[in-house]
Amino acid sequence: MVLYARDIVESDILTLSPDTTVLNAAKAMRDSKHGYAVVGPKERPQGIVTEWDILSQVVAEERDPQKVTVGGIMSRDLVFVDGGAGLSVVSQIMTQKGVRRLLVEEKGAVLGIITAKEMMARMNEYVDKISSQISRLQAPWV
């Protein structure tokens, strides 16, 4: 039993237009309970904006969140992984690139996003299932 990127992808992602103000983006992120938003259409994202982007580039610099747009502060270097990539590849990419979110694509289409939080939760479930299977296969101690 192997866990693939397509098995842990979150398809319900928040997407915003690049001209969305940071104030409106923060409200949308709060309402959707996401710490990030994909900028541009899900099918062809242009970037990603996170709570850290808002804190470091708007709040800490005392910029007006009603005048700054997410297109002006988003990260443009998106990191993708194929839906058929195994969990070890996903974690390796996240570690090497230093990211907490990966976009998952398959056949050129974006399926959704994997967050570090969701990956850890699913990994725990996966390890529990594997451990259970191993214990059932082991001979009882005599």
Tens-digit pLDDT profile for the chain (142 aa)? Answer: 678 999 889 888 999 999 999 999 999 999 999 999 999 988 889 999 999 999 999 999 999 999 999 999 999 999 999 999 998 899 899 999 999 999 999 988 899 999 988 888 777 777 777 777 787 777 666 5
Q: Which residues contact 40 (CB under 8 A, 6 or more apart)?
A: 15, 17, 18, 46, 47
pTM over 0.75: yes
Q: Rounded CA gap, 121 and 99, in Å?
A: 17
Which tokens belong to 43?
Answer: 């099918």
Domains of the chain: residue spans and CATH: 5-134 (3.10.580.10)
